[in-house]
Structures are given as structure tokens and as C-alpha cells.
Amino acid sequence: MKSKTISRRDFLKNIGMASAGVMLAASPWLSAFSEIVHTKGDKCRLAIIGPGSRGRFLMSFLVKNPKVDIVALCDIYQPSIDEALTLAPQAKVYNDYRKLLEDRSIDGVVIAVPLNKHCQIALDAFDAGKHVFCEKAIGYTMDECFRMYRKHIDTRQIFFTGQQRLFDPRYIKVMEMIHAGTFGDINAVHTFWNRNGDWRRPVPSPELERQINWRLYKESSKGLMTELACHQLQVGTWALQRLPNKVMGQGAITFWKDGREVYDNISCIYIFDDGVKMTFDSVISNKFYGLEEQILGNLGTVEPEKGKYYFETIPPAPGFLQMINEWENSLFESIPFAGTSWAPESANENKGEYILGERPKSDGTSLLLAAYVEAVITGKQPPHIAEEGYYATMLCLLGHEALEQGRIISFPDEYKLNYLNHQAKSL
């Protein structure tokens, strides 16, 4: 099969960067590709644990990677196994992941089971000497996340999480611009993710309801926080290059009163030490505004999901337009009441600039997986990637605590790592 793996040079070209140095400062995990030429003839043996909807999506990239053999699959639901075998027909099938982990020839696993089952499987995989790619959110509790991260450190096995935006060329490029000060001081990040749908899956028989619709029940999911906020909070802290210390929020079930236990309507405010704020809002009964991470600097705004940025001051329009603008301005200036006290702050009509031309089709998932494969082959953990995944989940779990307890929650010292502005007491 012809290689579809993106080369480092193509990758750099794709995101419009001449040199890796600039990019590595904002996104150091890209160093995963630094040996891509040397590993050309190498292969790794991977197993997929939980090849459900996401697991099979990940497999669809892995089966095209000539450096990967998918040698084993494990699921407790036969329809998932049947579907996964169409992608990897040679794979050995297991119903118990512990048996799969006994196969010493397996280098790494991809864990895509429901959230409440991630931790034990990941811990056992690390102990069995496997490298681990675990879907986000990584753990169901903060303590689970901390134990997973510690195990990664102690066993020195590779640890990747399903934060694909870390490898999305639009995000990588615009983060470099943000960190270079292009948009000035970032004083707020507004994130939101709206949908119009019940999030339910059809269930072949009633006793499978909680197994198949695990996202809707508190025993296995923390709803919109762990499923959606996890991505956007990571983007906010990536832009700000620091971590918030507190969060407050409110959650409710306001529309989908169908027996679900997780909220369908959430607002959270994350607070940084100097008062800068990052918000997350989500409703799943209206999708008009879709999803975005609005990164607000005093010189400009970034909307990476849309793939655009906007400067506060638009360069002067040429010729005739400039004349009309000047005429309009002088007219307003001549009206005695004119001024910001009555003029509405109407939304900016500025159409902005594309970060990378029209929106690319890939969302970073294929490159994230390619980077995991490189790391499994070289045995080198790229800097910051495990910590980014850890804090992405920790912040959404912190937000979840604020929703449940109805009060301001501070980030517990015992779960801090030496990362960005957080300093660990226990590590």
C-alpha cells in the first residue's frame, strides 16, 4: 500500500511554516515527527480496546498507516467487533482486555471505551508494558486522572490522549501568532458548543440502555463537560499558556427531560489568578451558533474553529471607500450627541482573515494518531502532550464539581503537576 502518512516537510508546508523552531515553541509535541524519515521502514503492533463509534473512526486512519498493524480488538458488544473486523480482518478478537494485554507482542493500545472504564484499562495496560493512547476525557474522577498520569511517569510508557486539536494545523498556526503577541494581551476566552439533538442512540433491547447510552448517565459520564468542554478548555489554556485556579458554574436539564441524568444546559466560568476569564457554555436544544473558541486580545480576535482571525483596527479602505468613511465620520462628529455613550457596540462587520485559507478537511485526528505511532516506534514521549491531556480533563472535572456543588471550586494542590503556572507539591 502506498504511504499516506504525511511527511514532516509536507506537514510544515501545510501549516505554512518554513521552520519547525517557531512552531515547536507553541506546540512542542510536534517533535513527535522529528524522526519520521528514519522510522520509514518500521512498524508497530497496536490493539484497539472498545472499537465503538470513536474507536472505529480512529481505526479508519490507523489502517491506512503503513507503520501500523492492528493485531487485536477487544469489545464486550459483538456488533462493535463485527464492524471493527471489516476494517482489520486479521485482528485477533478478545472479550476481556486483560487477556489481550497478556500478548507480549503488542506494543501499544488505543482505549476508546466509555469514560468510567478508561482508568483501570489504562493502568493495567501501562503495567503490562504497553504504550497508551486513551480517548478524552482521560478519567472519570480527578484522582483517576492523577493515577493514570503517575503511572505513565513511573512506567515511562508513551501516553497520548484524544485531544486532536493539538495537531490541527489551523490551531497550531494561530497559537504561534497568539504567543508572538499578534493579537495583543489575551484577556478572555469564550468557548461554546451548541447542538440540537438528544444525544441518544437506538438500543436493540431495553437492558442495553445504560451500556449503549452511557453518555446520558452519571455512573458512566459527566455529560457535556467531559464530552465537549474537554476540547475547548484545552484550547483556551493553550492560547493563554497558563492554567486557571478556580471555577464556578451552573448546570441543569432544561429541555431533554427524557430520563437522562447529565445536564443539557451548562455555563462555567474559569478564573485565572489575575482575573482573566475563560467561559464554557453549552446547550443541546439549539445549534444556531454551533461551536467556537473566541480568543479575545486587545488587538484582535481569533476564532480557530471557523479558521479566522480579526484585527480590532481594520486597515484604511482604499480610494473612494476611504472618502465615504471620512465623510460619514465627520458627519457623526458634527452631531453634538455623537459619542460612545449612545452609539451601540454593534458586532464588527469585519470579515477577517483565514488562518490557513479555506477550512481544511482534517481536524487533527489523523496527525495525532500518526504522532502516537511515531512515539510508539521511537519510544520517545513528546514534550507536554500528556500534561495537556491531563489538564484538559482535570479542568472539565473541576467544572463538573462546581456544577454539582453549586459553589466556587479551586484547583486542588495535590493534583497539580509542575506545568505552566501550576507547581506541584507532591511530585
Ligand X SMILES: NC(=O)c1ccc[n+]([C@@H]2O[C@H](COP(=O)([O-])OP(=O)(O)OC[C@H]3O[C@@H](n4cnc5c(N)ncnc54)[C@H](O)[C@@H]3O)[C@@H](O)[C@H]2O)c1
Site residues for ligand X per CB under 6 A = 49-50, 52-55, 74-77, 80, 97, 112-115, 117, 135-136, 162, 164, 227
Of 117 and 380, CB closest to ligand X: 117
Distance from C-alpha of 192 to C-alpha of 329, rounded to nearest angstrom: 35
User: At its nearest, how many Å lie between ligand X and the CB of residue 178?
Assistant: 22
Shortest Å distance, C-beta 132 to ligand X:
13
Answer yes or no: are the C-beta atoms of 47 and 106 closer than 8 Å: yes
**Is there a cis peptide before residue 137, judged by omega within 30 degrees of 0?**
yes
The CB-of-28 to ligand X minimum distance in angstroms stands at 21
Least separation in angstroms between residue 372's CB and ligand X is: 13
Residue 278 phi, psi (nearest 5)? -130, 125
Across the beta sheet with 131-134, what order do the strands follow?
92-94, 68-74, 44-49, 108-111, 131-134, 159-161
Instruction: Give the count of beta carbons closer than 10 Å to the beta carbon of residue 340.
Output: 7
Under DSSP, the state recorded for 293 is: E
Q: Which is nearer to ligand X, 77 or 311 (CB)?
A: 77
> Least CB distance from residue 104 to ligand X, whole Å?
20
Beta strand 68-74 with 44-49 is: parallel
Contact criterion met (CB below 8 Å) for 211 and 228: no
Q: Is the separation of the CB atoms in 239 and 186 below 8 Å? A: yes
List phi, psi (to 5°) of 104: -70, -15
Least gap, CB of 52 to ligand X (angstroms): 2
- Distance, in Å, from the CA atom of 215 to the CA atom of 227, rounded to the nearest integer, reads 8
CA distance 410 to 250: 16
Is there a contact between 225 and 403 (Cβ–Cβ < 8 Å)?
yes
Smallest gap, in angstroms, from Cβ of residue 238 to ligand X? Answer: 16
Task: Identify the H or E element spanning 122.
Answer: helix 118-127
Q: Which is nearer to ligand X, 54 or 150 (CB)?
A: 54
The residue at minimum Cβ distance from ligand X is: 52
Q: Find the shortest distance in angstroms from Cβ 184 to ligand X.
A: 31
Q: Give the C-alpha separation, 59 to 163, whole Å.
A: 16
Q: Which is nearer to ligand X, 114 or 382 (CB)?
A: 114
- The nearer residue to ligand X, 213 or 378, going by C-beta atoms, is 213
- Residue closer to ligand X by CB (options 51, 297) is 51
Report the residue number, 8 or 117, with the smaller CB distance to ligand X: 117
Q: In terms of CB distance, is 24 or 85 closer to ligand X?
A: 85
